Structure 1
């Protein structure tokens, strides 16, 4: 139930959808003679807000703290037992219909996992991602990615396929059930940098200690974060992504799916040690 409610609620709360709905609603209100001034005024405010949020680096400022929460992975020479790839980097349905991988803007999750698979040839590769949608079952993502990895020469005997999950919380829960991680094992968690805090939080909660391997950075850091967007759609797209992630952190914490509101590197080991399902 949580899954369906959250997906439907977020459709209407997505900033770009909300702003457009507000503009349309304002114009409808303006059709009422007595409320014409109020409606037109509200439409102007909503339009200006849409332009400003789309062009100014507001979304970048909101995303930067998420991406900078966990440092980039540095190989310290310690063995790696497994690599966890979280879904969200491809469109599984398009990949199947086209007969080739259809990656999206999070393609670095796939690319870096391939690199890690070659760097750590003994490591198992857990591919986590189902295909459930709000209105029915979609194509499971994990098997599609596994087939792609196999096609480029990665040994399928290394794969662990988790194709039931529809959310980040389920990624962690079902992955732990499949792997049953042992004390001392080291598993690299590959996901987008802006998604890493929530991902680490839910893996800690279910008692699966992971080493963050953030990829798919959307912000450049420093002065690069001051740049305005080239188009309104670019800024609104980033705003939609980052707003959903911050909302996800709050929602997961309130729902008891994470031990802390904003997971941090120093909190991961202790949280994992006291985690419970």
Structure 2
């Protein structure tokens, strides 16, 4: 229920979707001869777009999350394993083309390969089911297997979780694969923006994780997060930042984490 509710809520709450819905409401207001309502809805749609695409609020909100675990901690000499959360592969396009198509956060997979070489004896868990509503013929984990096989990675080291649909399910399903070793240090690989929520969830589920953030959406820890007049980039950063902050609040309210923003 939580998963479905979250997906349906985000369909409306995503800034561009919300602006379009408000704009459609304004058009309906005009057709229904309700000019005052139409003006208010049109103004609200414009305000949402301007706030998300033309102000620094979203980029700075993203920077707060991405800089939470920067610089990344020093890696120890030995670890229990490497845990990579799905998001490196575009599942829908992969299904359409019948082969692995890397997504915006492909660095999750390159980090897996790099860390796998650093720790040649460490087991790997790739947690990547289908994060959309409904079901698919092949999940991201299946395409990740194909990609790693083509890259020459030793698949005998990798356990693939194709069941989990969100971050909490990632932690629960991977815990069943890791067993008691979850209490020892695992390197956790996910997007820099998503890392605070991932760390909070995995710690709450009893994991000992070393955060290894990848694929940041902001320019850098010492750079100004916002590029004025680059409305497309700003809208993208704002959308992703809003989704993560809502996710942090929702997971805390649902009892999936012990803190809103982990250290």
Fold equivalence (TM over 0.5): yes
Partner-residue secondary structure (3-state), 2:194: helix
CA gap of 1:236–1:201, structure 2 versus 1, over 3 A, is same
Structure 2 residue aligned with 1:152 = 151
Q: Which residue of structure 2 aligns with residue 17 of structure 1?
A: 17
Indicate if the aligned counterparts of 2:175 and 2:182 stay in contact, CA closer than 8 A.
no
Name the CA distance, whole Å, in 2 between partners of 1:4 and 1:183. Answer: 28
3-state secondary structure, aligned to 2:208 = coil
* Per-residue deviation, residues 225-265 of structure 1 (Å, max 9, x unmatched): 132252x343222222111111111111111101111111x
TM-score (norm 1): 0.86
Residue deviations 1:209-237 (CA, integer Å, cap 9, x gap): 1110011111123443132252x343222
Give, in whole Å, the separation in 1 of the partners of 2:136 and 2:226.
41
User: What runs of 5+ residues in structure 2 fail to find an aligned partner?
Assistant: none
Structure 1 position 63, deviation (Å): 0.5
- Stretches (4+) displaced over 4 A: none
In the alignment, which residue of structure 2 is the partner of 1:274?
none
Alignment of 1:135-150 (within 5 A): 135-137=134-136, 139-150=138-149
The 10-residue stretch of structure 1 (86-95 or 252-261) with the greater mean CA deviation from structure 2: 86-95
Kept in 2, the 8 Å contact 1:132–1:139? The answer is: no
Q: 1:192 to 1:132 in 2, by over 3 A?
A: closer
Change (3 A) 1:90 1:184: closer
Higher mean C-alpha deviation, range 97-106 or range 16-25 = 97-106
CA RMSD of aligned residues (A): 2.1
Distance 1:41 1:73, change over 3 A: closer
SS of 1:225's equivalent in the other structure is coil
- Check conservation: 1:93, 1:139, Cα contact below 8 A: no
Find the aligned partners of 1:165 and 1:107 in 2 and give their Cα distance: 19
CA contact (8 A) 1:129 1:163 kept: yes
**Distance in 1 separating the partners of 2:240 and 2:247:** 11
Q: Structure 2 vs 1, CA of residues 32 and 86 (structure 1 numbering), >3 Å: closer, same or farther?
A: same
Between the two proteins, the alignment pairs up a number of residues equal to 262
Q: CA deviation at 1:133?
A: 3.1
Q: Do residues 27 (structure 1) and 45 (structure 2) align?
A: no
The answer to whether the Cα contact below 8 Å between 1:84 and 1:189 also exists between their aligned partners in 2 is yes
Once the two structures are TM-superposed, the CA of residue 55 in structure 1 deviates from its matched residue by 2.9
| Secondary structure class of the residue paired with 1:22 | helix
Residues 84, 125 of structure 2: 8 Å contact kept: yes
1:88-237 → structure 2 map (5 Å cutoff): 88-131=87-130, 133-137=132-136, 139-182=138-181, 185-220=184-219, 221-230=221-230, 232-237=231-236
Residue aligning to 1:56:
55
1:3 corresponds to which residue?
3
For 2:40 and 2:207, the matched residues in 1 are separated by 52
1:103 Cα shift?
A: 1.2
Deviates more, 1:62-71 or 1:124-133: 124-133
Deviates more, 1:172-181 or 1:64-73: 64-73
CA displacement at 1:129 relative to structure 2: 1.0
In structure 1, the residue corresponding to 2:190 is in which secondary structure?
strand
**How far is the alpha carbon of 1:57 from its aligned partner?**
2.6
Structure 1's 32 and 90: CA in aligned 2 closer, same or farther, altered over 3 A? same
**Partner of residue 86, structure 1:** 85
Change (3 A) 1:259 1:70: same
